[in-house]
């Protein structure tokens, strides 16, 4: 079955190239590092031990931050390779890890799952161990790692019911790949139960690494500064996905009767809450600005906050077209409408606003954060709404109810703090397979000692 799978990948290579070109129209970074995507990596210089961690995109890369920090501290001689699949994930890795790790930091794209590409990748980098974040499991990658004697662990693993059903339909490919994992560490009991149905019981339940990412103090100060300057209450639509902004903007326009120039000049309208939209993907920033403008709502972009002459009372919507500032946006807002949950995307990371102390309103789709969503709702940190118009009405009601808002904020911070510790549990559970890194470092040290 894997031979047929490999043949399919080989035949799909022209399509993969066309896809990269198509994506590069909106995001030119997709034109860079093409050779890496097909397994052509220069052979790594030096003999230092190497820990390889794969995080597919931005969310997984940020989730890996406390684990990378712990690995770097425990193995000070080891180098770390961070692979991803998207330009934004690659840029995030560079921003987070290049400076603290210095020459120990390496990054690359993980190749597409062609058998030869994965073998070339492992031969070029020669890692002692591989760590896959959350849900990444590729048949040819696992076969190549087994062939190269590289132990691979799945950490902070999660598996939704939808993903399980898809995996079971591809049982002949997925089950052998899962069984080749040296270690599986699940986020929750539910994830562990679903993963076990793929033929590989988990080794430990260690929790969600995303809880261990503490809010950035400098960004929180930036957001509070924005709040003082704006001088209006703020509803934040965070990490929105394609199609969600249109739904949100239509309801928001109706709620504040934003129709025609007379409404725009109304003195009562300038006191309405400010809607801030931060799209999930940077290639959609310009699109969201255009979608907002055609509604008749007055719009500004993130750069306006750096303009001393900017008057927040003159706009209805602010587009947060920036990367790496989510903690600042959460500190600015009184309430967050969680993106990815209003259409069937499974929600984006609701743990972040909880940790900052920003009340969260969720839509019906939360399968990517099912346990965290259920926990936040039970803790009183979040409320789930089935329709976007109900959510906006709930957000506006919260703006008028400071005691309720304050209670949700405190509940969110407590909920996030209660679930920390996944990094420590993960490091303990990985001790046996990471021992090869320590042994390699000790052997190298012994050779240098007279």
On the 0-12 / 13-18 / 19+ scale of CB atoms within 10 A, 214 is: middle
**Residue 24, exposed/middle/buried by CB under 10 A (0-12, 13-18, 19+)?**
middle
Query: What tokens does 432 get?
Result: 């046996």
pLDDT values of the chain reduced to their tens digit, one per residue, 450 residues: 889 999 999 899 999 999 999 999 888 999 999 999 999 999 988 888 999 999 999 999 999 999 999 999 999 999 999 999 999 999 999 999 999 999 999 999 999 999 999 999 999 999 999 999 998 899 999 999 999 999 999 999 999 998 999 999 999 999 999 999 999 999 999 999 999 999 999 999 999 999 999 999 999 999 999 999 999 999 999 999 999 999 999 999 999 874 433 333 443 444 689 999 999 999 999 999 999 999 999 999 999 999 999 999 999 999 999 999 999 999 999 999 999 999 999 999 999 999 999 999 999 999 999 999 999 999 999 999 999 999 999 999 999 999 999 999 999 999 999 999 999 999 999 999 999 886 766 655 655 555
pLDDT at 225: 96
**Which contiguous run of DSSP H or E holds residue 154?**
strand 152-157
DSSP per residue over 263-324, as a string? Answer: HHH-TTGGGSPEEEEEESSGGGHHHHHHHHHTTT--EEEGGGGG-TT--GGG-SEEE---SS
Is the entire prediction scored with pTM above 0.75?
A: yes
pLDDT of residue 265: 41
* Residue 209: closest CA among 132, 141, 323, 100: 132
Q: Give the separation between CA 144 and CA 113, rounded to whole angstroms.
A: 10
Cα angle 113-117-123, degrees, rounded to a multiple of 5: 125
Mutual orientation of helices 171-179 and 161-169 as an angle, nearest 10°?
110
Catalytic residue among 36, 60, 91, 136: 60
pLDDT on residue 301: 97
Say if CB 65 and CB 44 are below 8 A apart.
Answer: no
Right CATH number for 20-207+421-439 from 3.40.50.720, 3.40.50.11720, 3.40.50.1980, 3.40.50.2300? 3.40.50.11720
- What's the CATH class of domain 217-418? alpha beta
Cα separation, 412 vs 377, in Å, equals 9
pLDDT of residue 270: 44
Q: In the chain, where does the domain assigned CATH 3.40.50.2000 lie?
A: 217-418
CB atoms near residue 326 (< 10 Å): 25
Q: For residue 275, report the phi and psi dihedrals to the nearest 5 degrees.
A: -95, 125
| Predicted pLDDT at 448 | 59
- C-alpha triplet 128, 131, 132: angle, nearest 5°: 145
Token code pair at residue 21: 């070109």
List, by residue range, all CATH 3.40.50.11720 domains of the chain.
20-207+421-439
DSSP letter (8 states) at residue 90: H
**Max Cα-Cα span within the chain:** 85
Residue 293 has a CB neighbour count (10 Å cut-off) of 13
Distance CA 161, CA 166 (A): 9
Angle of CA points 304, 24, 26, to nearest 5°: 35
60 a catalytic residue: yes
At residue 172, the pLDDT reads: 92
CA dihedral of residues 325, 310, 358, 213 (deg, nearest 10): 10
Contact 330, 216 (CB under 8 A): no
Comparing CA positions, the residue from 66, 73, 119, 123 lying closest to residue 96 is: 66
d(CA 222, CA 224): 6
Confidence (pLDDT) at 261: 38
CB 150 within 8 A of CB 123: no
Residues 6+ apart with CB under 8 A from 206: 155, 156, 185, 186, 187, 422, 425, 426, 429
Q: Residue 32: phi, psi to the nearest 5?
A: -95, 150
Cα–Cα distance, 420 to 416 (Å, whole number)? 7
Cα atoms found within 13 Å of the Cα of residue 134, Cβ hemisphere only: 19
């Amino acid at each position: 079955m894997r031979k047929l799978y490999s043949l399919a990948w080989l035949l799909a290579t022209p399509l993969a190239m066309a896809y990269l070109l198509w994506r590069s129209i909106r995001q030119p970074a997709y034109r860079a590092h093409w050779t890496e995507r097909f397994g052509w990596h220069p052979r790594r210089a030096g003999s230092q031990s190497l820990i390889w961690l794969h995080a597919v995109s931005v969310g997984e890369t940020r989730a890996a931050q406390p684990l990378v920090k712990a690995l770097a501290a425990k193995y000070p001689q080891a180098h770390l390779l961070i692979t991803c699949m998207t330009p934004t994930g690659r840029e995030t890795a560079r921003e987070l890890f290049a400076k603290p790790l210095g020459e120990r930091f390496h990054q690359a794209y993980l190749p597409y799952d062609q058998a030869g590409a994965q073998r070339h990748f492992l031969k070029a980098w020669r890692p002692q161990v591989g760590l896959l974040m959350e849900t990444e499991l590729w048949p040819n990658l696992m076969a190549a790692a087994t062939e190269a004697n590289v132990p691979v662990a799945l950490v902070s693993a999660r598996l939704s019911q939808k993903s399980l059903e898809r995996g079971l339909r591809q049982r002949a490919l997925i089950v052998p790949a899962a069984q080749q994992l040296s270690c599986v560490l699940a986020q929750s009991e539910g994830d562990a139960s679903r993963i076990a149905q793929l033929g590989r019981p988990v080794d430990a339940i260690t929790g969600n690494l995303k809880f261990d990412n503490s809010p950035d103090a400098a960004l929180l100060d930036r957001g509070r500064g924005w709040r003082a300057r704006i001088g209006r209450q703020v509803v934040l639509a965070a990490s929105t996905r394609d199609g969600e902004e249109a739904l949100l903007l239509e309801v928001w326009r109706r709620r504040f009767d934003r129709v025609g120039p007379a409404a725009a000049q109304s003195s009562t309208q300038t006191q309405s809450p400010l809607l801030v939209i931060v799209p999930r993907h940077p290639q959609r920033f310009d699109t969201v600005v255009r979608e907002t403008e055609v509604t008749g709502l007055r719009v500004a972009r993130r750069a306006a906050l750096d303009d001393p002459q900017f008057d927040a009372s003159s706009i209805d919507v602010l587009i947060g077209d920036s990367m790496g500032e989510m903690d600042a946006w959460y500190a600015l807002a009184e309430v967050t409408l969680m993106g990815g949950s209003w259409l069937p995307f499974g929600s984006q990371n609701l743990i972040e606003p909880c940790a900052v102390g920003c009340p969260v309103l969720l839509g019906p789709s939360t399968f990517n954060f099912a346990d965290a969503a259920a926990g936040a709702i039970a803790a009183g940190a979040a409320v789930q709404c089935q329709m976007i118009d109900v959510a906006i009405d709930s957000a506006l009601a919260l703006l008028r109810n400071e005691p309720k808002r304050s209670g949700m904020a405190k509940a969110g911070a407590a909920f996030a703090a209660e679930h920390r510790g996944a990094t420590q549990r993960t490091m303990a559970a990985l001790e046996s397979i990471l021992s090869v890194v320590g042994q390699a470092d000790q052997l190298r040290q012994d050779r240098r000692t007279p």
